[in-house]
Structure 1
Amino acid sequence: MSSVYHDYSTFKNVTSFADSLQNFQQVDGLNTFEQIWGAYYYYMGNDLFATGLLFFVTHEFFYFGRCIPWMIIDRIPYFNKFKIQDTKLPSSKEQWECLKSVLTSHFLVEAFPIWFFHPLCQYIGISYQVPFPSVTDILIQLSVFFVLEDAWHYWFHRALHYGVFYKYIHKQHHRYAAPFGLAAEYAHPIEVMLLGFGTVGIPIVWCVLTGNLHLFTICIWIVLRLFQAVDAHSGYEFPWSLHNFLPFWAGADHHDEHHHYFIGSYASSFRWWDFVLDTEAGPKAKASRERKMKAAAEKVQKKSQ
């Protein structure tokens, strides 16, 4: 029996998910999402299996669901004018090779920890019961996760560009100098685990420190993080791209330059780390650094005269 709800005394026996959902629809104070969530766990009857299946299917559905539109756009000539590196469209062979590698990673690297995530949730106190936390709590936690993951990603991604770390680990991800959506998770297993800890580990640490986190919030966070990663690798810049309205948002143009020039623009979601530490990629950033160096040199020269 699932522990997703505290009182099943009024519930009828179920033989289908629809029966389970009907039981939760009779519970006062639950919204539609909470009813579906509760019905799912109750119907599955095994919380460990239910959480593992939920996370694995969510990851696969939203990752490939977000990649497929970009794959279609790559085959429609109209959108070429929005392609950042407009002469470098991914071939079917490149997409197929990338797909095979990503699926191998999903099933042989990521699947195992996903299936054993539920016991960890129970151990550190991540809730999965209904009802869900307030919208305010969810939004605050998502904001914190985005900021902290971006910092984690910046420093560890930057470290992966040094010496043996790049040669033996990160070089695989840079196989495509003109990235495309599917390549977001095309990476060495060590890189998958290292950078992936920023996505999964930060919520875990948050819960350990605060004792306040719900599995539903983690689901939303993972979906948003997947969308961010896939879109950053899409290779397209539109007038309606988010960074045109939120200047501190990174977006595809920021990460595309990282792949194009193989260095700089290390952050995932925001631009502030690269801006403050002067690690932005591309000719504009290079020209800006050269102007600053020239101005500094002229200043020193004047003082010495």
Structure 2
Amino acid sequence: MQVGNSTVLSSGTYWGQFEEISKYNTQLNVAERLWAAWYAWMQNDVLATGIMSFVMHEAVYFGRSLPWIFIDTLGLFNRYKIQGNKIPSLREQWDCAKFVLLSHFTVELPQIWLFHPMAQFCGLSTSIPFPTLWTMAYQIAVFFVMEDTWHYFSHRALHWGPLYKAIHKIHHQYSAPFGLAAEYASPIEVMILGFGTVGCPILWCAVTGDLHILTMYIWIVLRLFQAIDAHSGYEFPWSLHHFLPFWAGADHHDLHHEKFIGNYASSFRWWDYVLDTEYTPDALKRRRENKAKVSNKAQ
């Protein structure tokens, strides 16, 4: 393996690779050396990326869901529960976890395995050094906007009668969502909505030729956090939308599950506002006022 201006010698263990890389590439930071050692030790980029991607996804998804399980089970923040009369039982949580795990291994794992060849074809970088924080920050901001747009229109389409019954109804089994239920969905829906999360960065990479897989990983981690927190069912005084009014958050998505209409976007509120699919007390009031104005003009 070539790292910087040095060639890493073959070594029998991961830590042996790490020591070799550290010896000849002192300009790299610890994270970059750990990263390079992983790919050098695996000797197979597809395998290295596939294992790392799947383990990261599972650790983040279930790791971020775990606090919400404790909060629901122990009743720690019941006063902040949006639908306070609908607390998920441990049985519901367990049934949901089993379904999600099955989906991860049968639907998402093959997609993750194919991710590296497709991404490499589009020019995705796995090399070191890592991109700058600024580069990663602005690219992730772009991905949030792109994915939110994809999610809004595809999610809204899934609420069309035939598609809802055939595909999206599974996700709405829980009218009061909880963290683990973020990816409780039909395999077809997982592929459709998941395309926005993975496809938008790959499209960016294909057009610009500038994307590192680390940026992709950080984006996916943040997107998982957003999806799980949006399904948490809790509205806190410190929730992000109180500081960023255009952020969607749990209150936005919880209403969608409760009423089965409106609030189709994932991260932001602007598509629902612009296309008049927002379902909030303010939006309902605004519609009533507009309807009254039209009625008065007609008279």
> What's the TM-score, normalizing by structure 2?
0.96
1:43 CA displacement: 1.6
| 1:45 alignment partner, one of 40, 43, 46 | 43
| 2:99 alignment partner, one of 96, 101, 123 | 101
Aligned counterparts, 1:222-261, within 5 A? 222-261=220-259
Q: Give the structure 2 partner of residue 217 of structure 1.
A: 215
1:183 equivalenced with 2:186 (yes/no): no
| 2:263 alignment partner, one of 257, 262, 265 | 265
Q: Give the structure 1 partner of residue 22 of structure 2.
A: 25
Aligned counterparts, 1:13-92, within 5 A? 13-26=10-23, 27-92=25-90
1:6 CA displacement: 5.1
Contact 1:261 1:282 in 2 (8 A): no
Aligned counterparts, 1:122-201, within 5 A? 122-201=120-199
1:32 CA displacement: 2.4
Distance 1:13 1:119 in 2: 24
Runs of 4+ in 1 over 4 A off after TM superposition: none
Secondary structure, counterpart of 1:234 in structure 2: coil
* Letter paired with 2:249: G
Distance 1:284 1:179 in 2: 22
Unaligned residue ranges in structure 2 (runs of 5+): none
1:252 CA displacement: 0.4
Unaligned residue ranges in structure 1 (runs of 5+): none
* Letter paired with 1:171: K
1:171-202, CA deviations, whole angstroms, 9 ceiling, x for partnerless residues?
A: 00000000000000000111100010000001
1:95 CA displacement: 1.1
Secondary structure, counterpart of 2:206 in structure 1: helix
Distance 2:285 2:66 in 1: 37
Secondary structure, counterpart of 2:73 in structure 1: coil
Contact 2:73 2:90 in 1 (8 A): no
* Letter paired with 1:16: T
Distance 1:7 1:105 in 2: 43
1:137-163, CA deviations, whole angstroms, 9 ceiling, x for partnerless residues?
A: 111110100001000000010011011
Secondary structure, counterpart of 1:18 in structure 2: helix
Distance 1:269 1:24 in 2: 40
1:25 CA displacement: 2.6
174-183 vs 282-291, which deviates more?
A: 282-291
Q: What is the root-mean-square deviation of aligned Cα atoms in Å?
A: 1.4
1:12 CA displacement: 5.1
Distance 2:197 2:76 in 1: 35
Contact 1:41 1:50 in 2 (8 A): yes
Secondary structure, counterpart of 2:77 in structure 1: helix
1:47-96, CA deviations, whole angstroms, 9 ceiling, x for partnerless residues?
A: 11000001000100000000001000101223101111011000122111
Distance 2:107 2:273 in 1: 34
Q: Give the structure 2 partner of residue 116 of structure 1.
A: 114
* Letter paired with 2:183: E
Q: Give the structure 2 partner of residue 295 of structure 1.
A: 293
Contact 1:179 1:233 in 2 (8 A): yes
Distance 1:244 1:265 in 2: 17
Distance 1:53 1:8 in 2: 26
